Structure 1
Amino acid sequence: MLRRSLLANYAGQIATVALGIVMVPAYVRYLGVEAYGLIALNAALQAWVQILDLGLSPTLCRELARAQDEASRKEASVLLQSLEKFVAAMCTLLFVLSLLVAPFFAKDWLHAAGLPAHEIEIAFVLMVLTASSRWLSSVYRAGMVGIDRQATLNGVVVGFAVIRAALVVPVIARWPQIDVFFLWQLGAIAGESLVMRLLLARVIKAPLLTRTFSRTALSARARLSLSIAFSALVWATTTQIDKVILSKVLSLQAFGVFSMATLLASGILLLANPVQQAFIPRFSANGVGDSRNIIPSYLLASEITMIVVIPAAMIFAIAPDLVLRLWSASAPSTPEAWRVLQCYAIGNACSAIAELAFLVQCAQGNLSLQIKGNVAFLVILVPAVFLGSLNNGAVGVAYAWLALGLFRVLVWVSIVHRKFLPGINMRWYRDMVARTVATGLVGFAFHYTTLLRASRTQIFVFLLLMWLSMMVAAVAVSPISQRKARSLAGRLVFN
C-alpha cells in the first residue's frame, strides 16, 4: 500500500508541478508579467486563507487514518459534514470582505503600471473565491489521504490540473484578461472539490446534502486542531511574508520576476510532498503509544526525501542560469534572479527535510514543541525579511529565507529528535551530510562545463545527465541501497 501510494503521489505531483511550471511562460506571453504577479499573489492568498481551517483538515485526516471500526467511521463522517459547513460559512464571509477590500488592494497596495484598477479589483474578488474553493478542496484531499485512497486522489488532481493549467491557455489566448484567467481557475477548483466530495461520500457514507452539524465533534478535537492551526499560521507567515512585503516594496513587474524565480524553487517542496503524504497514515498508526515506534518509518521517509530533494536543489544552486534558460527564453535570466533561485532552492530543500519532524509530532498529537519552534522561526524571519527587503530588495529576502532553512534543518530538527526520537541524531545527520557531499562533488564536476551558446535541447540533456549522476551518488551512499547491495552480494556468494 505504501509503495502504491508513493508512486501515485509522485505521478500526480510530477504532472501537476510540470503543468504549473511549463505553462507559466504562456501565461506571461498572453497576460504579461504584471498579471503574473497577481497569479503569484493568488498562490500566497491561498496559503493565508487556509489558516482559517483552524487545523481541522489535518485532524480529519488523522481521525480517518485511525478509524478502524464502524463507530469511528461514523464519527469521522459527522466530523467531515460539520467541517464542510464551517468552511462554507467562512468562505461566504471572506467573499463579502473581498468586495470591501478590493478597491484598497487595487489602488493603494499594488504598484501596477499597465493593469487598470477595475480589472485588478475584479481579479482580487475572484482570487478570494478561488482560494476559498481551494480551502474546501483541501478538506476533501485530507479526507482522501486519511482513508488512504491516494491513487484515486491523484487521478482527480491530475485531471483537474490539466483543465486548470493547460486548457486555460487557449481561453486567455482568445480573451487575454486576468479576470478571465481567475474565473476559469475558480470553475476548475470547484469542480475538483465536488468530485472528491462525491468519492469521499461513497467510502465513509457521508451524504452530500444534509443538515448534520456537530459542535461537539469540532470542539472535542479543538486542542489538537488549534495547535495545528497555530502552526499553520506561523508556517504561512514564514513562507508568505516575503511575498506580502515585496508586493508592496517592489513594482508589480519586478514582483512578477521575483515570483517566477521562487516558483521554480518551490518545485523542491513539491517533490517532497508525495513522500510526506504517503507516510502520514503510517506515522499516525505507528504513533499510538511509544513515539519510538515511528523511528523505522521516519528514517525511511527521511532517506527517500533527501534522495529526492538534495540533487534537485544542487542543480538549482550550481546552474541557476541554465535552469532559467531551459524553462523559458523570456525568463528573467539576471544575476538577481539567479541568486533568488539559488537561495530559495537550498532553503526549500532544508524546509522539506525538516517538515518530517512536524509529521512525527502531529502523529503523536503533541505540538507544544512545534508551537514554540514556530514562534522562534517567526521572531527570526520577519525582522530579517523587513531588513533584507529594505536594504537589498528581493536578494536580501532570499538570503533571509536561506538562513531560516539552514536553521530549521541544523538546529530545530535535532531538538525534535532529542524529545520524540532519542538516539537518532548522529545517524540522521551523518546520512544527510553523506548525501549532500556526494551530490555536491558530482555537481561541481559538471559546473565547469561551459554552455554559453548551447541550445535548449543541449541544456536539457546536460541537466538531465547532471541530475542522474547526482541521484546515483545519493543512492550509492544510502543505507537502504547499501543493505540491499550487501544482501545481494551475500546471496551471490553463498549460492
Structure 2
Amino acid sequence: MSLKKNILSGYVSQLYVTGVGIMILPLYIKYMGAEAYGLVGFFTMLQAWFGLLDMGLTPTIGRETARYRGGNITALAYRQLYRALSLIFLVVALIGGISLFLVADLIVEQWLQVESLDMGKVVVCVQIMGIIVALRWLCGLCRGVIAGSERLVWLSGFNGLIATMRFIAVFGSMWQFGFTPLVFFVHQLVIALTELVGLWWMGNRLLPSKADSKETIGWSLKPIKPVLRFALTIAFTSSIWVLVTQTDKLILSGILSLAEYGYFTLAVLVASGIMVISGPVSSAIMPRMARLHSEGKHDEMIQVYRNASQLVTVICGSAAITVAFTAEKLLFAWTGDGQLAQESAPILRLYAIGNGFLALAAFPYYLQYALGNLRYHLIGNLVTICLLIPSIIYAAKVYGAIGAGWVWVSLNGMLLLFWVGYVHSKLEPGLHAKWLLIDIAKISLPVFFVLWGISLLGLPTGDRIVEFGVVAALSITALITAVFTSSYAKTVISLRVRNG
C-alpha cells in the first residue's frame, strides 16, 4: 500500500472524525447542558488515563507486525507473540474495567463537583464508563495489527463509520429516550462493542494462517521476552505521555464544577484537533520507517522523516497559528455563544500553540521507534514530567485553567527548542539544523507573519456567518502560505500537475 495513500486516507478519516466530534459539541451542550457535557469531558480524560495500562503492548504489536511483513520474524513467532499479548490485553482489561466499576461511587462523591445532576445516575454513568474504556482499550491490539500491516485505508474508513455512530447516531438514541447522560453512555457502550467486533474481525484476517505452520502455537508468555525491553520502554514513555497530556485535565476535573469543566473541555478539545491531525502521519511513517531501517535503507528512512516533518508543519503548524489568531471568532462562529467564546478563547489560544509545539516535538520519538531504541525519549519524558506535574498543580490551583494553559505552552516550546536538538545530535548528527530551519521555521514563520500582518489591518466582526468567513479566509491563507514555503509540498503538487 502506498505511503501517500495511507497518509491521505488517514487524514481524510481524522479530519472527519475530529470535525464531527468538534462540530457536534455545541449540540451536546445545548440539549444535555454544560454540566452533563462536563461528565462527557471526564469520560474522555478517563479513557486517556486508562492508557497507562497499555504497558507498551499496542506499539509493540504494531512494530512486530511491520517486522513480520518485512520478513524479519517467522509466521510462527509472530502468531505466538500475538497470542501472548492477547492474554495480557484481556487480563488487564478485566482488572481495569472492574476496578473502575467498583470505585465509581467514590469518584462521584469524593472527586467530581456535581451540582444539579442526580448523583445515583451519575454513579451509573461512571460505572458504564469503566466498561467502555476497557472495551475500547482491547481494540488497541487489533489496531496495532492493522496499522502494522499498513492497512490504513480500511482502518480510516472504519474509524469514520464508528465516529458517525458515536457522535451523530447518539442523537437518535437521545431523541428517542431522552437527552440525559445515562442514555448517552448506554449508546456509547453499544458502539464500543461494535467497534471491538469490527477491529477483531479485520485483525484476525491479517494474521498468518495457523494451517501454514506445522508447529503448535501454544499458550505461553515466553514470546514476549525478546521484545520485553522495547515494550517496557514504550510502556514507561506512554505513561509519561499520559501524565504530560492529562495531568492538567485530571486536576481541573476535581477543582472546577462540572459545568465549568465542560467549558474547559470544549476549548481543549478544539485545540486537540491539532494533535489529532498529526496522527495519520505518525501512524503511516512509524511502520514504514521501522521497515526501512530493518532493510538497511537509512537514507530513505531519514527522507521519509523529513518529508513527514514538513507535512505536519504545513497542516498542524498553520492550523495552530490560525487558531491562535482567531480563537474568539472561531468559538463564536461555532457555538453562537458570545460569553462562552470570550471566556474560552484564552484557553483555546494557549492550548492550540502548545499542541502545535508538541506535534513537532514528537518527531524524534518516531525516529527512535524505528531504530528500536527509546533511551533518549525515556530521559526526555522523565525530565518533562518532573517539571510539568508540580508546575501544573501549582498553576491550576492558583490560576485555574489559564495557569495550566501557560504551563502547557511554555514547556512544549522549550522541548521543541532544546530537547529535540539534543536527540537529533545523538541519533543523526547534522540533521537538526536542516530539520529546524528548512522543515519547520521556513514554513511556519511566513504563516505567522502573514496572519500577523493581516490582523494589524483589523479583522471584520459581525454575526456568526461573518466570523466564520473570517476564520475560513485566514485558514486558507495560512495553508496556502505553508504549502508554497514547503519544498516537499511543492514537489508533490508539481508532480500531480505534471501527471494530470
CA–CA distance in structure 2, aligned partners of residues 65 and 163 of structure 1: 30
Q: SS of 2:417's equivalent?
A: helix
CA–CA distance in structure 1, aligned partners of residues 335 and 225 of structure 2: 50
Q: Shift of the alpha carbon at 1:219?
A: 2.8
- Structure 1 pair 384/336, CA: closer, same or farther in 2 (3 Å)? farther
CA–CA distance in structure 2, aligned partners of residues 60 and 81 of structure 1: 11
Contact 2:31–2:179 at 8 Å: present in 1 too?
yes
Q: Indicate the residue corresponding to 2:454 in structure 1.
A: 446
Q: Indicate the residue corresponding to 1:352 in structure 2.
A: 359
The residue correspondences of 1:21-170 to structure 2 (distance < 5 A) are: 21-67=22-68, 68-69=70-71, 72-170=74-172
TM-score (norm 2): 0.92
Identity of matched residues, %: 28
Q: Indicate the residue corresponding to 2:230 in structure 1.
A: 224
The residue correspondences of 1:377-396 to structure 2 (distance < 5 A) are: 377-396=384-403
Q: Shift of the alpha carbon at 1:72?
A: 2.2
The residue type equivalent to 2:229 in the other structure is R
The residue correspondences of 1:70-469 to structure 2 (distance < 5 A) are: 72-174=74-176, 175-205=178-208, 213-288=219-294, 294-330=301-337, 333-431=340-438, 432-447=440-455, 448-453=457-462, 455-469=463-477
Alignment deviations for residues 128-155 of structure 1 (CA, whole Å, 9 cap, x no partner)? 1111111111221111110111111111
Contact 1:30–1:173 at 8 Å: present in 2 too?
no
Q: Shift of the alpha carbon at 1:459?
A: 2.5
Q: SS of 1:78's equivalent?
A: helix
The residue type equivalent to 1:382 in the other structure is I
CA–CA distance in structure 2, aligned partners of residues 466 and 236 of structure 1: 33
CA–CA distance in structure 2, aligned partners of residues 130 and 107 of structure 1: 21
Q: SS of 2:74's equivalent?
A: helix
The residue type equivalent to 2:459 in the other structure is T
Q: Shift of the alpha carbon at 1:15?
A: 1.1
Q: SS of 1:115's equivalent?
A: coil
Contact 2:271–2:352 at 8 Å: present in 1 too?
yes
Runs of 5+ unmatched residues, structure 1: none
Contact 2:79–2:217 at 8 Å: present in 1 too?
no
- Structure 1 pair 204/487, CA: closer, same or farther in 2 (3 Å)? closer
Q: SS of 1:333's equivalent?
A: helix
Alignment deviations for residues 467-493 of structure 1 (CA, whole Å, 9 cap, x no partner)? 1111121122212256679999xx9xx
Q: Shift of the alpha carbon at 1:343?
A: 0.6
Alignment deviations for residues 368-407 of structure 1 (CA, whole Å, 9 cap, x no partner)? 1111100111011111111111221100000000012101
Q: Indicate the residue corresponding to 1:17 in structure 2.
A: 18
Alignment deviations for residues 189-231 of structure 1 (CA, whole Å, 9 cap, x no partner)? 2211211111121221468xx9953201223311100000000
Contact 2:65–2:145 at 8 Å: present in 1 too?
yes
Runs of 4+ in 1 over 6 A off after TM superposition: 484-488
TM-score (norm 1): 0.93
Q: Indicate the residue corresponding to 1:476 in structure 2.
A: 484
Number of aligned residues: 487
CA–CA distance in structure 2, aligned partners of residues 317 and 217 of structure 1: 48
Runs of 5+ unmatched residues, structure 2: 211-215
Q: Shift of the alpha carbon at 1:18?
A: 1.1
Mean CA deviation greater in 93-102 or 285-294: 285-294
Contact 2:18–2:276 at 8 Å: present in 1 too?
yes
The alignment's C-alpha RMSD in Å is 2.3
CA–CA distance in structure 2, aligned partners of residues 117 and 145 of structure 1: 41
- Structure 1 pair 259/486, CA: closer, same or farther in 2 (3 Å)? closer
